[in-house]
Structure 1
Amino acid sequence: MARQIFQLRITLLDVSPAIWRRVAVPGGYTLDRLHRVIQYAMGWQDYHLHSFEIENAQFGIPDPEGELDLRDELDVRLDAVAGKDSRFSYVYDFGDWWDHEIAVEALYLAEPDERYPLCMEGERACPPEDVGGAHGYAEFLDALKDPGHPEHGAMLEWIGRHFDSEFFDPDRASVLLRRLV
């Protein structure tokens, strides 16, 4: 029997211009696996906590101290909580509060010769971890672009590598996603 594939558009909110990815994932994936797909596709490093909000229910890693009321994401399959045209939220890093909208664009049967999950396309680089949320990211970009900016040198040193905010390679993201198979 052929697997059902969910085509998802993942959009990072509160950042302009938009940072987004289009991925294809099996509907049988648990939300835990979907979390890992989002991490690899977006470019996050999975350093922080996360949660999904679907139909007013919160899903994530259960909090042993009981401070967060999260249903266990390991127990929930994507195809059990979402369908065509569904939209739900994924938040990564409760400090920086990276809010993502996940939109189910299409459902289709898996292509026999295709490997899933797959990153089909997207735009722009993911913000660096711990940059300070959307506001901090905007300040980071301003400092990088202007050699005369008082924080230019500090930001170059902090990032420690070349950073091109416009660059995204969906093929590289797909290679990373193969680790989930």
Structure 2
Amino acid sequence: MPRQIFQLKVSLAGVRPPVWRRVLVPGGYTLDRLHRVLQHAMGWRDCHLHSFEIDGLQYGEPDPDGELALRDELDVRMDAVVGKGSRFRYTYDFGDWWEHDLVVEDACTADPDERYPSCLYGERACPPEGVGGPSGYAVLLAALADPAHREHRAMREWAGPGFDPDAYDATRATTLLRRFC
């Protein structure tokens, strides 16, 4: 049976200007593997907890203390819980609370000459880890954009000289996806 490929649009909620990615992912991937795809496609460093919410059910890494009622993401294939047109949510970093809106834009048969997963497109850099969620990122962007801003120098130093909020390289993301997912 040919492999099914999902085209996902991933948008970071609560952030302006928008940060988004369009990725192709095998439908047979478990949610754990989808988590790794999202980390590399977005530009996160996988330093924090995460969860998926699909049709009102929560999936993620089971909590050994039992405090979080999560279904084990290792046991769930994407094609068992989503299909073309599905909308679901991925939350990363329960402190900064980065919510990602995911839409399955299309489902198609894998091209035998292509490798998956891959990142087709995207816009803007992922916010730096530990910036303080969408509101902290808004402060960072305002400070970086205005050399007269009282926090400009400190924020530029904190974010690093290489951080460009407008930059995104889908080809580099695809290389990472293929190496680590």
Offset at residue 152 of structure 1 (A) = 1.1
Query: Equivalent residue of 1:33, what SS?
Result: helix
> Is 161-170 or 77-86 further displaced after alignment?
161-170
Offset at residue 76 of structure 1 (A) = 0.2
1:163 is matched with: 163
2:114 is matched with: 114
Offset at residue 161 of structure 1 (A) = 2.8
Offset at residue 66 of structure 1 (A) = 1.1
1:151 is matched with: 151
Please, what TM-score do these two structures have when normalized by structure 2? 0.98
Structure 2 residue 85 is matched with structure 1 residue 85:
yes
Q: Detail structure 1 runs of 4+ shifted over 4 Å in the superposition.
A: none
1:103 is matched with: 103
Q: Distance in 2 between matches of 1:15 and 1:25?
A: 24
Offset at residue 17 of structure 1 (A) = 1.4
> Is 106-115 or 141-150 further displaced after alignment?
141-150
| Identical counterparts, % of pairs | 66
Query: Equivalent residue of 1:153, what SS?
Result: helix
- The count of aligned residue pairs is 181
Offset at residue 160 of structure 1 (A) = 2.4
Q: Distance in 2 between matches of 1:156 and 1:13?
A: 24
Structure 2: gaps spanning 5 or more residues: none
Give the RMSD, CA atoms, in angstroms: 0.9
Q: Distance in 2 between matches of 1:33 and 1:163?
A: 27
